[in-house]
Structure 1
Amino acid sequence: MKNLIKISLSVLTLALFVSCTQDYDIGEITKPTNLDVTTEVVGQSEEMPNGDGSGAVKFSASADNAMSYRFIYGDGFEEVSASGETTHSFNKNGVNDYTVKVIASGTAGNSANTTETVTVFSDFSDPETKQLLTGGSTKTWYVAAAEPGHLGVGPSSGEGFTSPVWYAAVPFEKAGAPSSSCFYTDEMTFSLNANDNIEYVYNNNGQTFFNVDYVAEFGGSGEGDQCIDYDDSSVKSVSLSPATSGVPAELTTGTAINISDGGTMSYYIGASTYEVLSIDENTMHVRAIMGNNPALAWYLKFTTAQGEPEEEEEFQSEFNELVWSDEFDGDGTLNSDKWNFETGNNDGWGNQELQYYTEENAVIEDGILKINAVAESTNGFDYSSARITTMDKFEFTYGRVEVRAKMPEGGGTWPAIWMLGANFPEAGWPEAGEIDIMEYKGNEPGVVHGTLHMPGNFAGDAITETTTVSDAASEFHNYGVEWSEDRILFLVDDVVYHEFENTADSPFNDPFFLILNLAMGGTFGGDVAGDFSQATFEIDYVRVYQAAE
């Protein structure tokens, strides 16, 4: 995790799947009133009174007592906006009039509506995307389940333009649970009809994978995203239009796919417009803004080849002789022949950490080592916790480390399983080298980091990879590293997710010692939740294996 002068890494603020919909107190049932709609034809000028040819019109609706607004555009497309703000592209070439109906919905089904007529000029055409999408006749697309990030989410602006910076699914992540497995059976077929217009058929094999925000609305129950019986197989019209998201031109095709009648491309997020970030003969990467939260952009990868999960080869370790372990049997205190306590704050341990380490915050209960972080005043600091090492008691070169552990919960928590070069007191950091077997932060639940620090690659430039362990805070998992003179592998439950080619010039060829700790806040842990009171990092065992002589 960190050294005495540092020890960290970072990734996001994954308040990821926290629902961003508003809660309304129904209270007195009232009908929306004072519905007002304004329109702005994009690119309208004296020279181009009907717009710049994009066909885009910005709509803004407001009404007293309204909870959402439905826009029926008069061209076969419609959408719902919680804010009343939206942009729609009309795609019939030339100058055309459209009568747009806007419905403001309130409580108990009460609504008010009005119509607006817009006159728009469109001359948009993207024959290349049309050809790739349909194959010139008909083409079926599937969720690219084997690809990292085939489903993900990030902010709709700024750094989120090109990738799901808050969450990205690992390959076949949704395959195992009945609540999500339907996601990978979807078939999305785009065809050209006799008039050379695009039509779309969504075959969901009877179930669609719904975002948690829409589960109740479509008859689901329980918590979280889930597959729901939902028939959306009717033939829908598709138009292509200029994308209006603001994604930089070099990061997108600039074309959006618009599906009529509220159609969706697999994962249901209340969106019918998908910006095409990239497309070729066999792959497509799209981005869509969540229907009830314009701050969220969801990402999907599709392929023309429906994949099946490959059988995972069982990991074969080259180190199988147990040379050191602590099983933390029974109850009581740590074995002082194996572990040292490091106490204090040590100027934030080089990472602006907020905790004060004590010997009292690590206990063994029912065969589990529990490192407790507590919100309490301790020696001038607001949090107490514990940090233990094997320095001068057990140090080794090369081998396999396996730690079975369960992560703490709570924003600002930062548990770590790591190793530091035994020559650290003389060589310093990062010269001694650091192997972060596992780092985790409560502000980014479900994401596990494996990292190496060394001269030329440390702090923000460390060599790092992440993997998703969705139940890391509720279940025990095996976190490990396989370390030899040729390579360093990082594993979770014997699955490798990060590989480093070791060389004779690296610091990873000398003895290292083990460290376990639970930090609070700091450069990696981030802000501590305002309601944080206590969290526990649980370790079932620590085992070190080396090659048999």
Structure 2
Amino acid sequence: MKSYNLLFVLLFFSFLGCKQEASVIIDSYIYLQKEGREKKDWEIIWEDHFEGTEIDTTKWTRIPPNNADWGRHMTTDDMCYEIKEGNLYLKGINNPDTVSDPRPFLTGGIYTKNKFAFQYGKVEIHARLESAQGAWPAMWMLSEHNKYGGWPHSGEIDIMEHLNYDSIIYQTTHSNYTNNLGQKHNPPHGGTAKIDAGQFNTFGLEWYPDSLVFTLNGDRTFAYPRVKDADKSQWPYDQPFYILIDQQLGGSWVGKVNPEDLPVNMIVDYVKVYQ
């Protein structure tokens, strides 16, 4: 019996050791995928199912307001955040107090900046999108360390963006190559996919050293390849990125917000990252 127990313990710790082989961990929060993992099965390295009553602050930070089109209505106020029945609600609302804060709308968003970042792997975000005029929910990624400089030089990966009442989502890449050099079609830097926004869907990305493969409910929808002879700024995706999930409102792309359509929610069931 003792020999059997010893064998079990050894096998258990051997299993744990294998589970850690997918990544090299830097600074305790940056997961670099080990070389050769592309040919092996995916292993979960990080996840959140929002099962508590509060946002896990070891994993996420509420996104503060900023001057970008997408961030001008962001708030860290509890009014725009709720966890219930295993789901995170990121809200877009009419501002109930424009005296202390003159902005007409408030929105909630979270990111993993300085808490979790990774280089290469797979992301799955299971969520339901509510629609409204001026609603712009997004799931995306930015460089953790801006290896090539500020935006857009270090890249942006848009796993999902949804506008208004559309029946499609946008999946896009941004870089100096696409934005400043205007190379949006060589190769195409984005695509769309049909969606029933009122249902839960799984929005995904498979990130390899030579391509970004976007998915919806497990099906491949669009891919952005690394081009061998292109300007070097075509591929800033060789560095760790962090995750952002936010319910945005208004902006030059989505258009004006209809206050009568609010509140609107992005309801997130889980986030999983594999390598």
TM exceeds 0.5?
Answer: yes
Match runs of 1:340-355 below 5 Å: 340-344=61-65, 346-347=66-67, 349=68, 351=69, 355=73
- Cα offset, 1:438, TM superposition: 0.5
Cα distance in 2 between the residues matched to 1:425 and 1:389: 19
Residue identity in the other structure for 2:250:
G
Whole-angstrom distance in 2 between the partners of 1:452 and 1:409 = 24
**1:14-25, aligned counterparts within 5 Å?**
none
Give the match for residue 85 of structure 2.
366
Shift of 1:423: 1.6
Greater helix share, 1 or 2?
2
Aligned partner (choices 400, 412, 434) of residue 134 of structure 2:
412
Deviation at 1:424, TM superposition (A): 3.2
Counterparts of 1:521 and 1:461, CA distance in 2: 27
Match of 1:531, SS state, is: helix
Amino acid in the other structure paired with 1:375: N
Aligned match of 2:102 in 359, 376, 380? 380
CA positional deviation for 1:536: 0.6
Query: Higher relative contact order at CA 8 Å, sep ≥6: structure 1 or structure 2?
Result: 2
> What residue number does 2:162 align with?
440
CA drift of 1:317 comes to 9.0
Contact 1:387 1:517 in 2 (8 A): yes
- Percent identity over paired residues: 29
Which deviations, in whole Å up to 9, do the C-alpha atoms of 1:168-197 show, x marking residues without a partner?
Answer: xxxxxxxxxxxxxxxxxxxxxxxxxxxxxx
- 1:476 equivalenced with 2:200 (yes/no): yes
Please, which of 221, 226, 232 is the counterpart of residue 502 of structure 1? 226
CA distance in 2, matches of 1:486, 1:426: 18
> How far apart are residue 363 of structure 1 and its match?
1.8
Give matches, 1:285-300, under 5 Å: none
Aligned partners of 2:159 and 2:204 also within 8 Å: yes
Distance 1:352 1:320 in 2: 32
For the 8 Å contact 1:354–1:521, the answer to whether it is kept is no
Q: Distance in 2 between matches of 1:353 and 1:421?
A: 17
CA contact (8 A) 1:450 1:466 kept: yes
Alignment of 1:73-112 (within 5 A): none
Residues 525, 317 of structure 1: alpha-carbon distance in 2 compared, 3 angstrom cutoff: farther
By how many angstroms is 1:359 displaced? Answer: 3.5
Report how far residue 425 of structure 1 moved: 8.9
Amino acid of the residue matched to residue 115 of structure 2?
K
The 1:353/1:392 distance shift into structure 2, 3 A limit, reads closer
What letter is aligned with 2:263? Answer: Q
- Secondary structure of residue in 2 paired with 1:380: coil
What does residue 541 of structure 1 align with?
270
The match for 2:253 is 524
Any conservation in 2 of the 1:353–1:522 contact (CA below 8 Å)? no
Instruction: Kindly state the Cα deviation for residue 343 of structure 1 after the two structures are TM-superposed.
Output: 1.5
1:24-58 per-residue CA deviation (whole Å, 9 max, x = no partner) reads xxxxxxxxxxxxxxxxxxxxxxxxxxxxxxxxxxx
Q: How many Å apart are 1:454 and its aligned residue? A: 0.7
In the alignment, the residues of structure 2 paired with residue 461 and residue 374 of structure 1 have an alpha-carbon distance, to the nearest angstrom, of 37
> Which runs of no fewer than 5 residues in structure 1 stay unpaired?
1-315
- CA RMSD in angstroms comes to 2.2
| CA deviation after TM superposition for structure 1 residue 503, in Å | 5.0
Q: Give the C-alpha shift of residue 432 in structure 1.
A: 1.2
User: What are structure 2's unaligned runs of at least 5 residues?
Assistant: 1-37
Query: Number of matched residues?
Result: 224
Output one character per residue of 1:374-432: Cα deviation in whole Å (capped at 9) or x when no partner: 01245110111112111111111000000001112111000000000112398200111
Per the alignment, residue 125 of structure 2 pairs with: 403
**Cα gap change, 1:374 to 1:425, in 2 (>3 Å):** farther
Q: Give the match for residue 511 of structure 1.
A: 240
Q: CA deviation at 1:492?
A: 0.3
TM-score by length of 2: 0.76
- Residue 452 of structure 1 deviates from its aligned partner by 0.2
Contact 1:410–1:529, Cα closer than 8 Å, also in 2: yes
Aligned: 1:452 with 2:176:
no
Q: Label 1:401 to 1:318 Cα distance change in 2 as closer, same or farther (>3 A).
A: farther
The answer on whether the counterparts of 2:136 and 2:248 sit within 8 Å (CA) in structure 1 is yes
Q: Distance in 2 between matches of 1:454 and 1:514?
A: 17
Distance 1:532 1:318, change over 3 A: farther
Tell me the distance in 2 between the aligned counterparts of 1:515 and 1:339: 9
Distance in 2, Cα, partners of 1:381 & 1:410: 18
Please give the secondary structure, in 2, of the residue aligned with 1:337: coil
Partners of 1:438 and 1:318 in 2: CA distance = 26
Which residue is 1:339 aligned to? 60
Aligned ranges for residues 23-42 of structure 1 at < 5 Å? Answer: none
SS at match of 1:456: helix
Q: Distance in 2 between matches of 1:420 and 1:483?
A: 13
The one-letter amino acid of 1:436's match is D
- Shift in Å at residue 354 of structure 1? 5.2
Determine the structure 2 residue equivalent to 1:323.
45
Change (3 A) 1:358 1:372: same
For the residue of structure 1 that corresponds to 2:261, the secondary structure is coil
Q: 1:545 to 1:353 in 2, by over 3 A?
A: closer
Amino acid aligned to 2:222: H
In the TM superposition, 1:227-238 aligns within 5 A as: none
Displacement of 1:357 in angstroms is 1.8
**Preserved contact between residue 417 and residue 438 of structure 1 (Cα < 8 Å):** yes
Amino acid in structure 1 at the alignment position of 2:265: T
Once the two structures are superposed, the pairs formed by residues 37-436 of structure 1 within 5 Å of their partners are 320-330=42-52, 332-344=53-65, 346-347=66-67, 349=68, 351=69, 355-360=73-78, 361-376=80-95, 377-378=97-98, 379-424=101-146, 427-436=149-158
Q: TM-score, normalised by structure 1?
A: 0.39
The structure-2 alpha-carbon separation of the partners of 1:318 and 1:451, relative to structure 1 and needing over 3 Å to count, comes to farther
Q: Paired residue for 1:127?
A: none
Q: Relative to 1, partners in 2 of residues 1:339 and 1:503: Cα closer, same or farther, differing over 3 Å?
A: farther
Q: State the SS of the aligned residue for 2:176.
A: coil
Corresponding residue for residue 217 of structure 2: 493
Q: Distance in 1 between matches of 2:39 and 2:218?
A: 9
